[in-house]
Amino acid sequence: MRLGLLVSGSGSNLQAILDAAREGRLGGALPTVVISNVPGVRALERARDAGVEALEIDHRAFASRPAFDAALQDALRARAVDLVVLAGFMRLLTGDFLAAFPGRVINIHPSLLPAFPGLHAPRQALDYGARIAGCTVHFVDEGTDTGAIIAQASVEVRDDDDEEALAARILAEEHRLYPQVIRQLAERRIERAGRRVRIGVRRA
């Protein structure tokens, strides 16, 4: 299963995935290309350091969202990517792009969805007064963090938490959960019926 990883920033989740691949913890999943819509980000350096192709496709160079998504799609197709992994990728994808990779685009979000979609999810959880926070891996649809949930991990909110402390504990769970889900997808252990996703035994 060839992975195309889309990033926009620091790439700590990308690093967790690259480390898992190097240590043989990703099953048959192979990081093949890392694409950033923001030039010069740390995530691209992490890809190069791991010997994975790093591409910049700057969305600002395109006249429209469909034109940018078409360029992304071409780059991924040219590399025969099977699974598109969003790892801190800060753009919404068009329906046309998603139709080209049906059920093959996943994202990680730092909240227990459907609570707190969008930006600054740990801060949203603190401001709301939630006692349990966490992260969610989900299939991507056209909405913001609305796709079918694959897996979640929770962390307790502590009385003395600030945004930074809570976000860091959530991120540690992200780094554990994301490679695990990618492995399960590569092993074909994830079955989906509408919004219901089941992680079961390996399918033939």
DSSP-derived secondary structure for 146-169: -SPEEEEEEEEPPTT--HHHHHHH
Taking CA atoms, 64 is separated from 8, 40, 68, 143, in Å, by: 18, 22, 6, 18
Whether 104 and 131 have beta carbons less than 8 Å apart is answered as no
- Work out whether 125 is an interface residue with ligand GRF (CB under 6 A): no
109 annotated active-site: yes
C-alpha distance across the termini of the chain, in Å: 15
What DSSP designation does 106 have?
E
Closest separation in Å from C-beta 111 to ligand GRF: 9
- Work out whether 161 is an interface residue with ligand GRF (CB under 6 A): no
Closest separation in Å from C-beta 132 to ligand GRF: 17
Which residue out of 109, 120, 138, 175 is catalytically annotated? 109
- Work out whether 103 is an interface residue with ligand GRF (CB under 6 A): no
Closest separation in Å from C-beta 63 to ligand GRF: 26
Q: Are strands 83-86 and 53-56 parallel, antiparallel or unpaired?
A: unpaired
Question: According to CB under 6 A, which residues from 71 to 100 bind ligand GRF?
Answer: 87-88
Among 13, 37, 73, 184, binds ligand GRF (CB under 6 A): 13
Q: Which residues are catalytic?
A: 109
The residue ranges that bind ligand GRF (CB under 6 A) are 9-14, 87-88, 108-110, 171, 174
